[in-house]
Structure 1
Amino acid sequence: MAASGLRFEIMIDVVLPCLNEAAALPGVLSGLPAGYRAIVADNGSTDGSAEVARTFGAHVVAVPQRGFGAAAHAGLLAATSDVVCFADADGSFDLRHLPLVADPVAAGAADLALGRRRPSRAGAWPAHARLANALLAWRLRTSLGLPIHDLGPMRAARRQALLALDLQDRRFGYPLEMIVAAARAGWTVSEVDVRYAPRAEGTRSKVTGTLRGTARAVRDMSKVLAR
């Protein structure tokens, strides 16, 4: 998949929430495009993730409050660039594709750009997690009229606008709250295809890796939709 042809001579921060991803980080950070800076929001890793991230030039932010949203928001607060990207740190995304989501925002074509996951091979996206995601995306299309099919962990938006949304969830509901708040604020939300691969060897997802993890994420996200 080729990245967008648009290029902007600006630095873009990439927030990578992280919990015990030492095995994945070398491959993830090696794919960072020129003009992008990794902010690894370390959520209490015990496997040396922070040290690995620093070795590969990432800015590391220690986040003692547990929760995906806590890590993601701490990374956002640490960012300084106008446009900010988010992505998972588990090796499932190729960071060379970040311009696909960043360019529409930088060009003013979208306020929030989401990467619609396209599995690169069987098993990249477990069926139970894919079904839960599809259900939540359907609810967003029908309740908010958003033209999306995936909650898109790889995403981009402008930093100050994101902060103005005043997101409150600090668990797995944070990514969904961002989309819901953006829609209610009248943002233009777009979706682009990005390749989605199996996690790096030796790592395990806190969400899609187990039915329990997926159920916990759906519960957190359902609370967001019920507000």
Structure 2
Amino acid sequence: MPHFPAADATRPTPPPAVRADVVLPCLDEAAALPWVLSRIPAGWRAIVVDNGSTDGSAALARSLGATVVAEPRRGFGAACHTGLQASDAEFVCFCDCDGSLDPGLLPGLVEYVAEGAADLVLGRRRPEGAGAWPAHARAGNLALARMLRRRTGLRLRDLGPMRAARRTQLLALGLTDRRSGYPLQMVVRASDAGLRVTETDVPYLPRTGKSKVTGTWRGTWQAVHDMREVLREPSVGSGAGAGAGR
């Protein structure tokens, strides 16, 4: 049985007058969904993008009050972008749907954006618990962070899947990757467009089940390959971001 932290009755609430949609790409995550959806901040909308699940994830998410959108094209980027297009809130967040990240922490990321401190905020993963972040996945992430710095000058240490930004700004980036390169392309194009990019620590818990992307060395390095292709894209703007978590 998967183990999740107990729900906190004093979980964070969004800043006044701020509403956000939370995009949750989903492929066979029925075991994690109840906890993940219970942690969505009050008044926010969970958009579960079903990417071809066969374990009843879509029906379960719907029964738990989430908006469910189907994306039959397999790919992390395909699911994320479909969720972004389905959003209608001023702010949109992304979060893995496997129980490794707590959506209850998202108001803190949105607050950076709402207050004008940054345009794109990434959750820098801080592993908690054995096996939360396997060595091969960390190595791949470190390599990408170094390549990203050479490409953009951003001093980021993680390309974590928890993030927040204004919906209109993300749509304006014209993101095209529909596989593992989507999160990196978002950061690269945000930097090229002159958006301010920063990161802040978030706890990273052992996920439920095996990762579809970084569960193996082969999967990890396939993701790295996809992201290298993104880094080869020519710059589409003259602006520069400023990565500095706090």
TM-score range, shorter chain: over 0.9
In structure 1, the partner of 2:224 is 218
Q: 1:47 aligns with which of 52, 55, 58?
A: 55
In structure 1, the partner of 2:178 is 170
CA contact (8 A) 1:32 1:96 kept: yes
Q: CA deviation at 1:33?
A: 1.3
Paired letter, 1:37: R
**Cα–Cα, structure 1 residues 54 and 11, in superposed 2: closer, same or farther, change >3 Å?**
same
Paired letter, 2:220: T
In structure 1, the partner of 2:215 is 209
CA distance in 2, matches of 1:23, 1:192: 28
**Cα–Cα, structure 1 residues 48 and 3, in superposed 2: closer, same or farther, change >3 Å?**
closer
Aligned: 1:71 with 2:79: yes
SS of the residue corresponding to residue 207 of structure 1 reads: coil
Q: State how many pairs are aligned.
A: 224
- Residue correspondence of structure 1 range 20-31 to structure 2 within 5 A: 20-31=28-39
Paired letter, 2:227: M
Q: CA deviation at 1:126?
A: 0.5
Q: CA deviation at 1:100?
A: 2.1
In the alignment, structure 1 segments of 5+ residues that lack a partner are none
CA distance in 1, matches of 2:130, 2:87: 35
Q: CA deviation at 1:204?
A: 1.5
In structure 2, the partner of 1:119 is 127
CA distance in 2, matches of 1:113, 1:98: 10
In structure 2, the partner of 1:15 is 23
Q: CA deviation at 1:222?
A: 0.8
CA distance in 1, matches of 2:55, 2:22: 22
In structure 2, the partner of 1:188 is 196
User: Which segments of structure 1 move beyond 4 Å, counting only runs of 4 or more?
Assistant: 2-6
Pick 1 or 2: higher relative contact order, CA cutoff 8 A, min separation 6. Answer: 1
SS of the residue corresponding to residue 73 of structure 2 reads: coil
Aligned: 1:95 with 2:118: no
Q: CA deviation at 1:98?
A: 0.8
Q: CA deviation at 1:37?
A: 1.1
CA distance in 2, matches of 1:70, 1:119: 27
Q: CA deviation at 1:5?
A: 8.7
CA distance in 2, matches of 1:76, 1:36: 15
TM-score (structure 1 length as normaliser): 0.95
CA contact (8 A) 2:12 2:41 kept: no
CA contact (8 A) 2:84 2:167 kept: yes
SS of the residue corresponding to residue 115 of structure 1 reads: strand
Aligned: 1:155 with 2:187: no
In structure 1, the partner of 2:242 is none
**Cα–Cα, structure 1 residues 5 and 15, in superposed 2: closer, same or farther, change >3 Å?**
closer
**Cα–Cα, structure 1 residues 70 and 5, in superposed 2: closer, same or farther, change >3 Å?**
closer
Q: RMSD of the alignment, in Å?
A: 1.5
Identity level (%): 62
SS of the residue corresponding to residue 156 of structure 1 reads: strand
